[in-house]
Amino acid sequence: MNAEWTPETLDALARFLRERGLCEGDLDVRRIGEGHSNLTFLVSDGVGRVVMRRPPPPPTPPGAHDMLREARLVHALRDTQVPVARVLATARAGEVLDVPFYVMSFAEGPVVTTSTPATLDRPEIRRQIGEALIDTLADLHAVDWRAAGLGDLGRPEGFNARHLRRMARLVADADGSPPPHFAVVEAWLAAHVPPESGAAIVHNDYRIGNVVLAPNPPGRVAAVLDWELATIGDPLFDVGYFLASVPEADSPRTPTEDLGTAMLEDGYPTRKELADRYAERTGRDVSNLDWYTALAFWKLAALYEYSRRRTLRGVGDPYYADPALVRSFLEAAHRIAGLDEPPAAPEDRPTEETR
């Protein structure tokens, strides 16, 4: 049994699903996905399968891991061009478990990260997959979010500058200054903040590893996953983040690019080809995309540094402990911005004892 489950909580989930006609027999619950944030489980009764999304075990920080907000957004997208799973049931904290959760339909197909499965493993199909990925992002940004009832989901005005300030606070020193290794690219980003290109639903973590592909040709997106960070903001923010997840041959890789190395295989579009296709589909000016891509790398550096500090205090995921992960993102941000390499982090500088 998974560490997240006890016989009592498993029985409570089974009763909840039976009452809604979503299962019949004993449950098999298996953790799926990469799992450094919200948790995803495949739930089967031997006949059918559903997927359950829940936050990590309590305590949950205020405002974090809002599963019912995520379920609301996925449900609102059900009749759009964006492929999503069907939300089947939701539960508030204390109603069934001590955390809120939702249950959705199971999307059949592979989640691709480091290699393309054999059924899709041809250059022309890989090309279709890459084009489907950017087309799906364009379809998401075309959704009328007000008509979908999502007008209160975020504040698109001033999104770029506000997001930059909010992420900077995660790693700022006590006096509000950025750490030395963050300072140069943060100053470059602050000096070049573009006006918003528009207002749209932004996924905020869109990459090949966060979609289910159709299992057979042609290359298609069957469902977009992991909507926990979605909000209303600048659509080019999503494009920059997606491009930051696409590795480039003969270039150092970040941990996020490591989760998409399949896209180095023959046939997948390059970053430039993806950006050009998005511009063609949407008519948006993408001349500032380097700023958004540098922002994505810098933001990931800030999130990893914040998590690294939590780990050092004994309250975080050990995955984040290595400072080289943070540096890889900062170096990528500097490359995109055309800056020299970032200064060494304080913990990387030689001391009297190590000289």
Confidence check: pLDDT of 24 > 90:
no
Query: In this structure, are 180 and 299 located in the same domain?
Result: yes
In the beta sheet, which residues pair with residue 201?
A: 232
pLDDT for the residue numbered 353: 35
**Average pLDDT score, the chain:** 92
Report percent pLDDT > 70 for the chain: 93
pTM over 0.75: yes
Helices (H), 121-270: 123-141, 159-171, 180-191, 235-244, 255-258
Query: In this structure, are 100 and 33 located in the same domain?
Result: yes
Query: In this structure, are 64 and 174 located in the same domain?
Result: no
Any domain includes 114: no
Q: What is the tens place of the pLDDT at every residue in 221-272?
A: 999 999 999 999 999 999 999 999 999 998 999 999 999 999 999 999 999 9
Query: In this structure, are 164 and 311 located in the same domain?
Result: yes
Number of domains in the chain: 2
Confidence check: pLDDT of 337 > 90:
yes
Any domain includes 101: yes
Last residue of a domain, one of 68, 90, 105: 105
d(CA 196, CA 160): 7
Confidence check: pLDDT of 143 > 90:
yes
Query: In this structure, are 167 and 297 located in the same domain?
Result: yes
**At how many degrees (to 10) do helices 159-171 and 235-244 cross?**
50
Confidence check: pLDDT of 355 > 60:
no
The domain of 40 spans 29-105
Any domain includes 111: no
Any domain includes 237: no
Copy the structure tokens of residue 301: 């550096």
Query: In this structure, are 73 and 188 located in the same domain?
Result: no
d(CA 59, CA 134): 37
d(CA 223, CA 10): 27
Any domain includes 225: no
Any domain includes 128: no
> What is the DSSP code string of 215-248?
SSSSP-EEEE---TT-EEE-HHHHHHHHHHTS--
Any domain includes 207: no
Any domain includes 177: yes
Last residue of a domain, one of 105, 128, 147: 105
Query: In this structure, are 95 and 162 located in the same domain?
Result: no
For residue 72, the domain's CATH number is 3.30.200.20
Nearest to 245 by CA among 320, 282, 300, 188: 300
Last residue of a domain, one of 105, 120, 148: 105
Question: Residue 154 in 3-state DSSP?
Answer: coil
Q: How confident is the model at residue 26 (pLDDT cuts 50, 70, 90)?
A: confident
Q: What is the tens place of the pLDDT at every residue in 149-177?
A: 999 999 999 999 999 999 999 999 999 99
